[in-house]
Structures are given as structure tokens and as C-alpha cells.
Structure 1
Amino acid sequence: MSPLKISVLGESSISRYPERCVLQVAIRSEGLEQEPVSKDVTLTSNELHRIFTDLSPKTPEGLASTDAPVTKFSNTLLRTWSKVPTDEHGKPLPRVYHATSSFEVIFRDFAKVGEVIGKLVKIPKVEIESVDWRLTDQTKKELGSEARKLAMRDAVQKANDFADVVDRQVVAVEITDEGHGTRSRTKQTARLSTLRTSVSDAEGNTIDLTPEDVEFTSSVDAKFESVSEA
């Protein structure tokens, strides 16, 4: 009897409530003079830096304190450029100057995210670019082991399903890790106008955001062969 060979893809998916919220914020300005455009972005960037610094108090060792709403934030340097637009007839118009900067802010306290967004949308030149839900590196490491085992069990089950039909027994002879990843079930990475948010009319103008479960996925490519008969 010729040997039976079976190749299957084992997959797994584990859902977890997010542990961090990553807020992407951009500051943009444009105008006919370079200095005021750059100044707008610089002053606004300094204002946001103060806001996020207050939300991320540090321990004497320089780490985020255990009760800090923001665990970490970073911002890009001021970027400037200019271009000459044209009208509908291709005639050059006055040169337009542009300036931009951006922030990435990692929140531990989800309630603070909506409160901060409520403040930021009132500041001229500020745009909320995205809101993303994530797991910590430690959790992803722990889930990685669990997800790989589940993916392999899925591959074994699939192989046995095929083998049972033809009355064979198989064993794994080759396993290839196809990798893993994380994603929000409904990833909130659109601009604020398209996020699933509701703005209350209460004092503070808080934005209510609903955290999305994060899915940790893993897959393996496994090859099986029939067991030799005694």
C-alpha cells in the first residue's frame, strides 16, 4: 500500500480585551508665509507635549508610574515644505507653505482617551488620525505559545479527519510556522469623523470610545504521512 501524505494548514485565534489604546495625532498648518505656519505647528506641538507630559508622571527611575494614564508618548520633529499650486488653467498661484508634526500616545487608562480627544478636537490645527487597540508585549508573548499549540492541534485534527475516512493513521513529519499576528476585530484607524464615537454634550465634551477585542492569530503548515503497518 502506497504511503498516504496529507498537508494541512492549522489555524488558531484567541480574543482578548485590549490593554493599551494607541492614539495618533497630527498637527498641520498651511499659509502664504513660512514663519507663521511653522510657528503655529511649533506652539501647538508644545501645548500637546505639556498635556501628554502631565498624563504620564514618572517614577524616580524614569518609568511611567503605575497610575499614569499614559505609559508612553513620542512626537516627530517639525516638518516643513512648500509648493506652487495652479488654477484650473494651469496658471501658477502664490506659493503655499506647509508644516506638520505628529504624536503617538499609548494609554493605559481608556477613560482618559475620550477625555483627551474631547480636548484635542477643540485645538486648531489638530487632527485625530487613528485610535488602535493593542495588547502588551508580555501578553502577546504568552498568547504566542498558547496560539501555536492550538494551531497545531487544529492541524492534527484536520489530518486525522482526512485519514479516518480512508482508514489510515498518520503522524506529523514536517511543521512550518506560518507566523502570528494581532488585530482589532473592528480596527478603529480612520479619522475621527469615521470612528464609531459619540460626543456627549456634557461638560468636557468627552468622546465615548468602545474598546475593540484584540485577536491574536497563529498558523502552521503541517505535513503528515501514514504510519507504517507492522
Structure 2
Amino acid sequence: MSEVTVTVRGEHETRVAPERATIRLSVRAEGSERSPVVEHAMRLTEPVRDSITARKESGVIVDWTSTRLSVRAERPWNNEGKRLAPIYYASIDLTATFIDASDLSIWVSDVSPWDGVEVGSVSWHLTPETNARLEREVASEAVGVAVARARAYATALGLHDVEPVEIADAGLIAPTASAPPAGMAKFRGMVQESGDMTGASMAYEPDAIVITATVEARFVAR
């Protein structure tokens, strides 16, 4: 036996604590006349936006967004099958990205009882810099696992030299539907949905973010 082709897969996984928390909320108003509903929604949004900008200036919030006012109308039916006068709904969506989960909890506890405020989900994530660094590290470790496996196979066959021939994202050498792409972070974080939080003290405790990478590699063992 002079030469054998060895094809292996390498995987690696790491778990890290989230560095950022982005919360989504909406401010809503409704009524029978469009202009008052629009004005009411904008008036309800002002203290929420002021609260966000104040925390942005203090460094508690690193980024935030606010969408344009959205207005829609619906004409309900009464129990006699007749269309009633239109009801107008106005809403403004906002997001805010916090550095610390405790600051997020305090802020949500403050604003959730306010009139018209609906608190949505929280997504946990990393900074772009940390994301890129961990993506490289996890992919590199996955390659190391592939090399170690190839050497183990070669040794079991009584061969000693292992030369890499090909390395690729999972599925490109030996296609498979279930493998995640190599070199790309696969995240699994926690998303929390809000319920009835009026008067509640919210506590957000994120799960670790799981980052995985998988590669496929082909070697020639001699």
C-alpha cells in the first residue's frame, strides 16, 4: 500500500457570553379619526425616544433606530353585518442595543407600563469585531480537527506522511444537506418574548451564544 486518499470532516464549537442585547418595542395608538391618532402616537413616542437618547449619551445604549410612523385603517363589521366607521391604527417601531443586561432590565421595567408601549423580543449577539475573530478561530480549530483525523487514519493504515490536497466548506467535497458552512459562525442565542409586563420588573439572563464551524478535507497518505 503506497498511497491512500483520506477524506475527513473537522468540527469545532465554542460558547461565549453575549456582548450586546437588542430590544424591539412599538408605540401604538388607535381611534376613530386619523389626525388625532397620528398626533397621539407621536406624543406617546416622545418620552420613549427621550429615554433612549439619554441612555445613548451616557453610554448605556450603543445604537438605536426608529422607524417612520405607520398608519392603517380598518372598517369593522357589526353583529348585523354592516361595515362601521373606520378605526385608525398608528405605530412607531424602535430598537435599542444595550451593553449590559441589567441596564436593559431596568429600562424595560421603566417603560413597559407607559401608555401605548408594547415591548417585543430581545436578541443577544456579539460585536462585529468579536464575531469576526471567533469565526476565524473556530474555523481554524475545525481544520486542526480534520488534520488530526487524517493523521489518525493514516497511522492506522501503517502510513506516516499526510499531505493536504483539498479543503472546503462542508458539503462542497462530499455534499450533505445537514452540515453548516465552514468559516461561518452559526449562532444559537436566546430570544425572549414579552408578555403582560405592566408593573413587572423584567430580568433578562441570556444563554451563551454557540458558534460552530465544519470543514471537509481531502489528504493523500503515504
* Normalised TM-score (structure 2): 0.80
1:104-141 Cα offsets, whole Å, 9 max, x none, are: 11111322111111012101221111112221112122
Residue 74 of structure 1, CA deviation: 1.2
Aligned length: 208
1:88 shift after superposition: 7.7
Counterpart-to-counterpart distance in 2, 1:81 and 1:143: 44
Gaps of at least 5 residues in structure 1 are 58-66
In 1, the alpha carbon distance for the partners of 2:78 and 2:143 equals 61
**8 A contact 1:182–1:214 mirrored in 2:** no
Show the counterpart of 2:195.
Answer: 193
Counterpart CA distance in 2 for 1:2 and 1:88 is 86
Q: What is the CA–CA distance in structure 1 between the aligned matches of 2:218 and 2:112, rounded to whole Å?
A: 54
Task: Name the amino acid aligned to 1:209.
Answer: Y
Distance 1:5 1:206, change over 3 A: same
The sequence identity of aligned pairs, in percent, is: 25
Deviation (angstroms), 1:81: 1.7
Structure 2 unmatched runs, 5+: 170-181
Output the aligned Cα RMSD.
2.7
Residues 167 and 74 of structure 1: CA distance in aligned 2, closer, same or farther (over 3 Å): same
Q: 8 Å contact 2:138–2:183 — kept in the other structure?
A: no
Task: Supply the distance in 2 between the matched residues of 1:141 and 1:50 (Cα, whole angstroms).
Answer: 33
- In the other structure, the counterpart of 2:138 is 147
1:208 pairs with 2:200? no
Match of 2:32 in 1: 32
Report whether the alignment pairs 1:131 with 2:122.
yes
Q: CA deviation at 1:167?
A: 3.9
Matched, 1:175 2:167: yes
Contact 1:133–1:184 (CA<8 Å) still a contact in 2?
Answer: no
| Alignment partners' CA distance in 1, 2:66 and 2:22 | 13
Q: Could you tell me how far apart the structure 2 residues matched to 1:48 and 1:192 are?
A: 17
Partner amino acid for 2:39? K
- Residue-by-residue CA offset, 1:22-54 (whole Å, 9 max, x unaligned): 111122233332223222321122211100111
